[in-house]
Each structure stands twice: as structure tokens, then as C-alpha cells.
Amino acid sequence: MATEPTIFELSSPGRRGVTFPEPDVPDAEIPASFRRESLAFPEASEIDVVRHFTRMSQKNHAIDISMYPLGSCTMKFNPRINEAVARMPGYAALHPLQRQETAQGALQLMYELQEMLAEISGFAAVSLQPAAGAHGELAGTLIIREFHRANGDSARTEMLVPDSAHGTNPATAVMAGFSVVTIPSDDRGNVDLAALREKVGPNTAGMMITNPNTLGLWDEHIHEVVDIVHAAGGLIYNDGANFNAILGLAKPGHLGVDVMHYNLHKTFSTPHGGGGPGSGPIGVTETLKPYLPGPVVGKSENANGETTYVWESPEKSIGRLHGFHGNFGMHVRAYTYIRMHGAEGLKQISEDAVLNANYLKARLEGPYDVAYDRPCMHEVVLSASKQKQQGARALDIAKRLLDFGVHPPTTYFPLIVPEALMIEPTETESKQSIDYFADTMLTIAREIEETPDIVTGAPHTTDFKRLDEAGANRSLNLRWTEAKEPEPVAAG
Ligand SMILES: *Cc1c(COP(=O)(O)O)cnc(C)c1O
């Protein structure tokens, strides 16, 4: 079958998309050693370039095309007002080395974002430095380490991590120099209290919890968990990736959490990007405030009695974790999002996110097994164990969804649920789009009963079938190479 030529094949010497004016300055001498004889850039007209990138963009799924229920990732819609504000020249054209007196508006925005995040979560202070959730985890666990060191408590080398935790938690704990002690879950998906009591002790530096956890469940013993760890002298780190479930409903700081990160690219609607800039600020209690990574923005009055915003370094700071001031463009977007919603709006976000997930649970339970049979928070974890016995696995269901134009949910995580399908609709989906997803999942369940080959052979409609995803991540090669006959792709 003929395929449309790519931009590389369309390339023709001298073809141009733009014309430059004749230079009105003399040619500069570029040293020969700086020059390359050939750079394999295609020479193409404007329409070819536009078509190339438009077609490329359509080969990827995106939240702007359809639902993206990737559990734990909170793939909510990125409101366009965020982008409009981030592009305002007063923010977009700032230079990070500009003197702070000339960037007061930006500092005020960061100061107010620090304050709003602290208020929403019940903490004393926030640092905006970390660039991702995992980076926030590193900041938080380093703070825990410094806190114990400052107290001369050098025996505290163990970090407790539940078996439902995201992989970044144990990885971060190890990076921060701790050894990981895994705590199992009980049969309702909570932290197993008996196991916790057994493992906690004088070597415990702290515990990394996620509440609601990655099973989409609120820990029914959260107060006991916090008390047990605190009584043993440990601190509580809360992985705030699931904060979207409890905005305006519960404050981690009031639950006894000592330090937590926020994923601005999840809860606060900034784009996830293709590995692009994220933002993972951390919030801490009064006791841990001096350890925050800096600089942070403070507020003071100048000699004329005017408010000024200034960079401050917390006195026992663990140091700097990011060049300049964190991912400022993301701060602008999250600030805009919070101000657009206000306190009542934030609460509504979480109520709707929880409602949507429970609606989906109600529509899918039966045909699919629900991992833990109790009301969920903002996401629901199903198991495709039954489907596996009928001949199609969670992975096959994920691939089949692509034929219906829907992004698959997270699969095979949490690790403690066999054939896990972790679904997070988020509050930004309408009932109609959630129903489309549910109807599609039910159609696939029927297909597996009747004609499983359709599902195990999926996807049928995408340009590429099943890729080696781990390989694609580990040895990414984005270089165009001349087309060969496509190799047949084995299913399964
Ligand atoms: C996304 C996520 C993380 C890591 O956050 P990044 O911003 O991707 O680094 C950690 N824990 C949980 C539960 C998550 O969902």
C-alpha cells in the first residue's frame, strides 16, 4: 500500500518555507572548524512542514482528543486560561538572573502560590523548587534525614514504605541514603497495622505514605498509622500525587503529616508534557520549615513601608535542588488554576473526581472484578483476572481501548493487584465521556467472552501495533531512517 511521503522524502534542494531579507550587515566569518558540510535537514515548503507536524500530532493520544484515564497520573484537562496567563510577557519574558527588585510581580505570584499551597494542605511553609513529584520526594526525605542528624539521631536509617506505594517512593528513599522496609497492606487495602507495629522502632527515620493510596482507597487507620510512627520518633512523608481526591476536604498537615509533595502537573492542571517540565513543590510543618530547599520567597517591608518580596534561604536548608527558581511557568499555571477555582471550586473538584470514579466503579463492577470492594476515592482499581482466564489479559484490554480512541488506564500497578487496571477519570470528564469509556470497557469484556482474538490482536486501527515499550524507553532513538518494508509485528 502506498504511504504518504514523509517530510524527508518530500525534501527537495532549495525548497523553502520562509524567505529571509537580504542581510544589511557584512557576512560574518565562521571558523571552518565550526562548520559541517552537510546537515541532513529536509528542505521543505511551509505546507509540507505544517502537514508533517499536524500528522505527527495525530499519531499520539492526548487529553485534548479524548479521555485519558491513566490512574495515579491525574490526567485532567489543562485549562487554556493557564496558558494565556503563562504567556503574558511580564512572566514569559523575565530573565531568571534579573534583579529581584525588577521582578516583584513574579516573586509575589510565587509567594502567594507558596501560601495557597500551605493553606490548602495545612502546612506552615512551602518550597517551590522541586521539578517533579519524585524530586519533591527526594527533597522531603533529605529533610527527614537532616532533621534526625541535627538531633544527633544517627541510628534512624530505615524508611517504611507500604507495598502499594508508587515505585518512586522506595527508589527515592534509597537515593536519600535509607534502607527500605516494606509494610504489607491488609485485606481492605489499608496499611497493615500489626505489621507496622512489628517493623517500626528506634531505627525508623520515617514512613512514606500515600493517602488516598494507589488503590484509590482512603486509609481507614490513618490516625493510628501516624501515631505509631510518631510515637517511635519517625516522621511522616505523604506522597501527594493523589491530592486531587481531598482538596478542601482534608488537610494532610492536620492529619499529622510532616512533609509532603504536590504534583502541580497532576492536581493543579499544569501539563505533564512529554517528559517536559513538571513541578513538585513540598510543604512542611513549622518544625521542618528551616530545612526547606531554598531559596524561597519571603515578604518584608522596605523603608517606605511598602511590601517587597525577597529571596530567602531557610537557615538549615538542605540546599538548592534546581537551577534558578524551579519551573516558574508551571507556578504561573497552577496559581491561575487555584485563583480561577477559589476555595469552594477546589472542594468541588475533589467531590466531582470522587463521584466520577465511584460512578465508573458502579458501571464496571460485575463484568470486571473490583480489587477492593469498598467506595473508592478519585480512582478505582479493577482486576482483569476473570478476563485472563477467558484468554485476554489487562495488557490486551489496554491495547483494544486504542481501537475505540481511548487512552488505556494504568496497567499492572499497583503491583499487589493481579492484572490491575487502575482507572482515574478525573473531574474534568462529563457523564457522557465517562459513559463512552464504560460502554467500551463492557464491549471489550463481551468480546473477550465471545471472540477473544479481536482483543488479543489489538490494536487494529493504529499505525503501529505492539511496541517494545521498555526498549523504547531505555534506548530511545528519534532519528528518522529511510522507510523499509514494515516488519510484521507479533501479537502478545
Ligand atoms: C506520579 C506519581 C509520583 C511521581 O511523580 P512525578 O511527578 O511523576 O515524579 C509519585 N507517586 C505517585 C503515587 C504518583 O502517582
**CATH code, domain carrying 427:** 3.90.1150.10
Confidence tier at 342 by pLDDT (50, 70, 90): very high
Nearest by Cα to 445 from 380, 397, 409, 395? 397
Q: Give the integer Cα–Cα distance in Å for 194 and 211.
A: 19
Same domain, 257 and 388: no
Residues 282 and 391 in one domain: no
Query: Highest mean pLDDT range out of 62-71, 217-226, 457-466?
Result: 217-226
**pLDDT tens, 347-393?**
999 999 999 999 999 999 999 999 999 999 999 999 999 999 999 99
Specify the number of domains making up the chain. 3
Asked, for residue 70, whether it belongs to a domain, the answer is: no
Task: Give residue 194 CA to ligand 1 midpoint distance, Å.
Answer: 27
Residues 324 and 354 in one domain: no
Q: Do 211 and 316 belong to one domain? A: yes
Ligand 1 close to Cβ of residue 233 (< 6 A): no
Minimum CA distance residue for ligand 1 atom 3:
133
pLDDT at 3 over 80: no
- Domain end, chosen from 292, 316, 340, is at 340
C-alpha cell belonging to residue 241: 500525587
Q: Are 368 and 442 in contact (CB under 8 A)?
A: no
Q: Is the pLDDT of residue 24 over 80?
A: yes
Ligand 1 contact via 172 beta carbon (within 6 Å): no
**Ligand 1 centroid distance, CA of 131 (Å):** 12
pLDDT value at residue 479: 77
Residue 44 has a CB neighbour count (10 Å cut-off) of: 19
Q: What Å distances lie between residue 281 and 3, 55, 214, 215, 434, CA to CA? A: 46, 36, 20, 24, 31
The residue whose C-alpha atom lies closest to atom 15 belonging to ligand 1 is: 72
* Nearby residues of 325 by Cβ (< 8 Å), 6 or more positions away: 96, 110, 128, 129, 295
> Is the confidence at residue 234, as pLDDT, over 80?
yes
Picking from 314, 340, 366, the residue at the C-terminal end of a domain is 340
Q: Domain end: 303, 319, 340, which one?
A: 340
Question: Is 278 touching ligand 1 by the criterion CB < 6 Å?
Answer: yes
Determine what percent of the chain is predicted with pLDDT higher than 90: 81
For the chain, what is the mean pLDDT? Answer: 93
Same domain, 50 and 97: no
Report which residue type is found at 348. Q
Assess if residue 303 is contained within a domain: yes
Q: What are phi and psi of 104, to 5 degrees?
A: -60, -35
The overall longest dimension of the chain from CA atoms, in Å, is 79
Please tell me whether residues 137 and 96 are part of one structural domain. yes
Mutational pocket test of ligand 1: of 164, 166, 260, the residue with most ligand atoms within 8 Å of the beta carbon:
166
Measured from the Cβ of residue 272, the count of other Cβ atoms closer than 10 Å reads 19
Whether 433 shows a pLDDT value over 90: the answer reads yes
Tell me, yes or no, whether 246 lies in a domain: yes
Closest CA to 468 of 484, 492, 443, 444: 492
Q: What integer pLDDT is reported at residue 60 of this predicted model?
A: 83
User: For residue 168, how far is its CA from the centre of ligand 1 (angstroms)?
Assistant: 7
Q: What is the predicted pLDDT for the residue at 492?
A: 39
Q: Is the pLDDT of residue 276 over 70?
A: no
C-alpha 337 to ligand 1 mean position (Å): 20
For residue 284, is it within any domain? Answer: yes
Q: Is 210 in the pocket of ligand 1 (CB under 6 A)?
A: yes
Mean predicted confidence (pLDDT) in 94-111: 95
Query: In this predicted model, what pLDDT tens digit does every residue of 70-95 receive, in sequence order?
Result: 999 999 999 999 999 999 999 999 99
Q: Determine whether 368 is exposed, middle or buried from the number of CB atoms within 10 Å of its CB (0-12, 13-18, 19+).
A: buried
Q: Could you give the CA distance from residue 214 to residue 189 in angstroms, rounded to a whole number? A: 9
Q: CATH number, domain at 164?
A: 3.40.640.10
d(CA 73, ligand 1 centre) in Å: 7
- The mean per-residue pLDDT over the stretch 327-332 comes to 96
Are residues 425 and 368 part of one domain? yes
In a 10 Å sphere around its CB, with 0-12 CB exposed, 13-18 middle and 19+ buried, how is residue 6 labelled?
middle
Predicted local confidence at residue 29, as pLDDT: 86
Expressed as residue numbers, the domain containing 373 is 349-474
Could you give the angle at which helices 394-403 and 431-450 cross, rounded to 10 degrees?
Answer: 120
Shortest-distance Cα residue to atom 14 of ligand 1: 241
- Does ligand 1 have an atom closer than 6 angstroms to the CB of 409? no
Kindly state the average pLDDT of the residues 147-163. 97
Which grid coordinates belong to 339?
Answer: 485563583
Q: Is the pLDDT confidence value at 216 over 70?
A: yes
pLDDT at 488 over 60: no
Among 284, 265, 391, 392, which Cα is nearest to 333's? 265
The pLDDT of residue 37 is above 80: no
Cα end-to-end span (Å), the chain: 25
For 269: left if phi > 0, alpha if psi spans -120 to 50, otherwise beta; the answer is left
What percent of the chain has a predicted confidence (pLDDT) above 70?
97
Sheet (strand 282-284) strand order: 125-127, 282-284, 259-262, 235-240, 204-209, 158-162, 179-183
Based on the domain organization, do 357 and 277 belong to the same domain?
Answer: no
Do 360 and 313 lie in one domain? The reply is: no
Q: What is the mean pLDDT of residues 413-431?
A: 97
Ligand 1 pocket test: which of 263, 282, 422 has the largest number of ligand atoms within 8 Å of its C-beta? 263
Any domain includes 398: yes
Same domain, 122 and 158: yes
Residues 326 and 430 in one domain: no
Choosing from 74, 135, 168, 219 the residue with most ligand 1 atoms within 8 A of its CB, the one to mutate for a pocket test is 168
Mean predicted confidence (pLDDT) in 39-51: 88
Tell me the C-alpha distance between 286 and 290, whole Å. 8
In angstroms, the CA 327 to CA 465 distance is 36
Would residue 416 count as lying in a domain?
yes
Q: What is the per-residue burial (b if ≥16 Cβ within 10 Å, else e) of 238-269? A: bbbbbbbbbbbebbbbebbbbbbbbbbbbbbb
- pLDDT of 491: 46
Query: Residue 342 burial (CB < 10 Å; 0-12/13-18/19+)?
Result: exposed
Nearest CA owner, ligand 1 atom 5 = 133
In a domain, 479, yes or no: no
* Stretch 13-32: mean pLDDT: 89
Residue 13 lies in a domain: yes
Could you tell me if 125 and 173 lie in one domain?
A: yes
